[in-house]
Structure 1
Amino acid sequence: MPYLTRDGDVFVLYLGNEGEQDNENRFHPDWMDAVHASLDEVEASEGPAALVVAATGKFFSNGLDVEWIFGNLDKVPEYLDRSHTIFSRLLTFPMPTVSAIQGHAFGAGAMLAISTDFQVMRSDRGFYCLPEVDLSMPFTVGMNALLNSRLPKQTAIEAMTTGRRFGGEDALKSGIVQSAVPGEDVLATAVSRVANNASKRGPNLAGIKRSIHGDLLAALAVKTRDTPFSFG
């Protein structure tokens, strides 16, 4: 389950199990509940603060929990709506945020990575990828809006229609991330990116973010009960 650490004014939300390196950090319902619980804890803190979303091992996040989906097909629309709440919450989080992408960010994991204010990615290993086109899997209204809002238009078209795997340097050139650094520097770079802005936390910052992302947030709030969802 996700867990928190702290580096000065910067909270670090790790997406996987503490002490383990092989987590895929998929969007299981329990995992999503744990992410929200961690964010609740960060919001309940006092004083200057910022947030880094990080992981360890091979994956930042491998996206939706396909095994859970196949076992719960009747619950998929509600499951997708729940995944949208992770994106919406990060988009409007009342403090500076950055994703420290140390490994693969696929599908919903790639969407999570661009839901923070800024992105730092490992330059020498790991991919940013949207494999939905190869899985015959549609994007929800909210996911489509997220990708088209947070990525440059031509990058969104290429990522969504070809399933291209962007390495760190490619992701930087394509406008997906703002920094690409060696693996050992990802977390420190992310912490440095937001630490100096920790004093800006609060309702005013959250309100600014809601204004910036107004149309996107409305799209993420659209219920997906009637969205077709299938693989293959």
Structure 2
Amino acid sequence: MPYLERNGDVFVLNLGNEGEADKDIRFHPDWIATVNDLLDQVEKAEGPAALVTTATGKIYNNGLDTDWLFGGGNVDKLYSYLDTVHAVYARLVAFPMPTIAAINGHAFGAGAMLATAHDFRVMRSDRGFWCLPEVNLGMTFAPAMNSLLRSRLTNQVAVEAMTTGRRYSGADALAAGIVDAVADEASVLPDAVTRAAALAANHKPNLAVIKRALHARLLKALAVETTADNLGAFAGI
């Protein structure tokens, strides 16, 4: 389960399991609940503060928990499940302190969108991909996901990423404007923490107001309930 550490003014939310290199990290409902609980703790911080998310090993986040969804007999929960995922994105988009994703490894599908929901992104340069494989898996993008991607990516990058399933390396992602910086394996997290610490003094009440206004249209879109009508075909459903 995710866990929280602190480096000076910077909260580091590790998305994986403490004490082990993570083989797979996905949006399981229990994982989502734990992340929200930890974000609750971070939001209580007073004074300078910033948030970095990362993981350990070759995975940052591999997206929706399709084993739980399709193999666990939970297909009937699809729409409400997606809404809980979108709520995590919305929370990060409007988070009342600076946020940086330290993308230590693969960020696929909903995991790529998780990184994209942060203010800034630092990606490992030597290994790992940022990728939206939905088109290759027969899946569509929920309206909330589409809005998130369209708000963060240039139109042509969105076209390429969403309609081809291209796997972007760190250098590719930097060139496309998907991430803001790249670093080698040992430097991804320290770089993100350094950048976050430099912004921590901006943790004031006005930052939350600025973010809500800046992202008002996106936040409205992320709050739209997912239904059969607006989701369309999703992995054959």
Partner amino acid for 1:137? M
Q: Are residues 1:101 and 2:103 paired?
A: yes
CA RMSD of aligned residues (A): 1.0
Query: Residues 56-111 of structure 1: CA distance to partner in whole angstroms, max 9, x if unpaired?
Result: 11100000000111120111000000000110000011111100001000000000
Query: Residues 121-145 of structure 1: CA distance to partner in whole angstroms, max 9, x if unpaired?
Result: 0011000000000011010000000
1:51-70 correspondence to structure 2 within 5 Å: 51-70=51-70
Match of residue 132, structure 2, among 130, 133, 145 = 130
Residue 33 of structure 1: aligned partner:
33
8 Å Cα contact 1:111-1:143 kept in structure 2: yes
Count of residues paired in the alignment = 232
Partner amino acid for 2:155? K
Residue 217 of structure 1: aligned partner:
219
Residue 4 of structure 1: aligned partner:
4
Q: Are residues 1:157 and 2:176 paired?
A: no
8 Å Cα contact 2:113-2:145 kept in structure 1: yes
Partner amino acid for 2:13? L
Gaps of 5+ in 1: none
Residue 83 of structure 2: aligned partner:
81
8 Å Cα contact 1:2-1:13 kept in structure 2: yes
Q: Distance in 2 between matches of 1:23 and 1:34?
A: 19
8 Å Cα contact 2:22-2:55 kept in structure 1: no
For the residue of structure 2 that corresponds to 1:42, the secondary structure is helix
Identical positions, percent = 60
Query: Residues 6-64 of structure 1: CA distance to partner in whole angstroms, max 9, x if unpaired?
Result: 00000000000101112422000110000000000001122210000111111000000
Partner amino acid for 1:38? L
Gaps of 5+ in 2: none
Residue 185 of structure 2: aligned partner:
183
Q: Are residues 1:45 and 2:45 paired?
A: yes
8 Å Cα contact 1:136-1:231 kept in structure 2: yes
With normalisation by structure 1, the TM-score equals 0.98
| 1:229 to partner: Cα distance | 4.7
8 Å Cα contact 1:17-1:23 kept in structure 2: no
| 1:225 to partner: Cα distance | 2.2
With normalisation by structure 2, the TM-score equals 0.96
